[in-house]
Amino acid sequence: MADREVPAEPLRVSILSQGSYLIASIHTALDDGQLLRFQRDLIERIGSQRARGVVIDVAALDVLDSFGSRTLRDIARMSRLRGAETVIVGIAPELAVSMVRLGLQLEMPTALDLEEGLAYLRAMTGTAMLP
């Protein structure tokens, strides 16, 4: 891997599989390189897990810059090309206000929290959650 990541670094993003959905939680602010790695990993996982939907939980983020929001948008587009719907959940009020002030457009579905995001995906993809 070309990434020069310190091995002992704590996990910043976790990607869990839940039935035919992937749940990606961003735990701390990511720099540009980490974001791109996250994007690559996630798109990869969609294929290997045959996921129909992706929930990206950003509840832990208090800032998101233009690169961050563009990356999220790109993830959504790539996911769709690979057959999965993407929904962003957990945008905090402060983050929402700052994004709007900065004129950042996500142009992708958003939902209040994980539960809502999964409900949205179920409605969109028509897939029942596997037991």
Residues in touch with another protein (CB under 8 A): 88-89, 91-93, 95-97, 99-101, 106, 110-113, 116
Nearer to another protein, 74 or 113 (CB): 113
Residue 45 Cβ, how far from another protein at the closest point, in Å?
24
- 75-111 exposure pattern, b = at least 16 Cβ within 10 A, e = fewer: bbebbeebebbbbbbbbeeebeeebeeeebeeebebb
Residue 89 Cβ, how far from another protein at the closest point, in Å?
7
Q: Which two tokens stand for residue 91?
A: 């945008």
Q: Which two tokens stand for residue 99?
A: 């994004």
Residue 47 Cβ, how far from another protein at the closest point, in Å?
27
Nearer to another protein, 82 or 106 (CB): 106
Nearer to another protein, 42 or 72 (CB): 72
Rg (CA), the chain: 14
Nearer to another protein, 49 or 110 (CB): 110
Supply φ then ψ for residue 27, to 5 degrees.
Answer: -90, -30
